[in-house]
Amino acid sequence: MGLSDRTQGIYHYLFDTVPEGTPTVPLKSWRENNRTTGRPSPVARLQAGSNLKQDIGKALSQVGPLSTIISRGDRVLVKPNYNSPDPPPASTDQAFLRAVIEILREAGAKVTIGESSGAVWRPTRNTFEHVGLYRLGKELGVPVIAFEEKGNDWVKIEINGRYVKWVTIARVAYDADRLVYLPCLKTHSLADFSGAIKLAFGCVHPGERRSYHGKLLQEKLAEVNLWRQPDLVITDGRKAFISGGPYKGQLANPGVILASRDQVAIDVEAIKVLAEYGAKTLPANPWTLPQIKTAVEAGLGKNI
């Protein structure tokens, strides 16, 4: 991205604020899977081969029939990772995103792609144009929404966490029937790890996100998920950052795809994969990582 884009990004980072008069909406009760059954939440781990769409489908089949998660006609928001326009694993691989959308549409879903980039990479439109996301959306006939772009609304939700009491969320995410998260596999220089728990941060208004980047960052980003948990998480672990991140780091090639209905369980498995490939900055026991520990304490995940 050029100097003009970076100047815009710095401006947005410093001056984006939550709009006055943002409406308050109730916290919805979302359908959950497996929380009260006492059975472990399945996390599929599949070694990727040459047919990406087929491999993703196999991973999904291991966590249950897709029809039990996505119903025909559901408005499904797919939340990829475009914090920056840097290549995978910094951002979502286009082929991976395409394959997931094709699978969801074949299941009858009405898909929208939504995201808000981080820090100096806003406006998000610049990131989308740089990675070719608008072109992909046009090819697939799927709307692509930059959450903070003019014309898109935000809503405030009381989540009453220990560290976060209220959160401002993109209305398109709030209104969706189902949420599908597509994390990358990577460490994070500020939050230690970036996965399904942290991916929810991109649904929060950028002006509010900025205030979280101080003390207790991991605890706050975990509690943000109290507004709503994703219905399905598919992690692209074919490439990974085992140090650094989120936009650049030491590269490894685990070659795996992970899938789960449980964002906590899949993040724990993702951390184990990073450790297998040499990540040194993460705890030996993933459950002790502050964002995982806080998520469990907050009652997130389906296997609590």
Number of separate helices (H) and strands (E) present in the chain? 11, 12
Q: How far apart are CA 202 and CA 151, in angstroms?
A: 18
Q: Is residue 130 part of a domain?
A: yes
Count of domains observed in the chain: 1
Q: Which residue ranges in the chain fall short of pLDDT 50? A: 5-6, 9, 11-12, 31-38, 304
Question: For residue 22, what pLDDT is reported?
Answer: 92
Whether residue 22 lies inside any domain: the answer is no
d(CA 56, CA 236): 9
CATH of the domain at 276: 3.40.50.11440
User: pLDDT at position 304, please?
Assistant: 39
Instruction: Count other Cβ atoms within 10 Å, centred on residue 214.
Output: 8
Give the residue from 68, 269, 63 showing the smallest Cα distance to 178: 68
Q: Is 167 helix (H, G, I), strand (E, B) or coil?
A: strand
Indicate whether 166 belongs to any domain: yes
Do 113 and 75 meet the contact criterion of CB atoms below 8 Å apart? no
Domain encompassing residue 153: 3-16+42-297
Six-digit token string for 193: 């790890």
Residue with the two structure tokens 């509690």: 223
The string of pLDDT tens digits covering residues 254-295 is: 999 999 999 999 999 999 999 999 999 999 999 999 999 999
Q: What is the pLDDT of residue 120?
A: 76
Query: Do the domain assignments include residue 34?
Result: no
Give the pLDDT of residue 29.
73
Does residue 123 have a cis peptide bond before it, meaning omega lies within 30 degrees of 0? yes
Q: What's the whole-model pTM score?
A: 0.92
pLDDT score, position 119: 73
| Residue at 97 is within a domain | yes
Is 225 domain-assigned? Answer: yes
Residue 302 covered by a domain: no
Residue 115 lies in a domain: yes
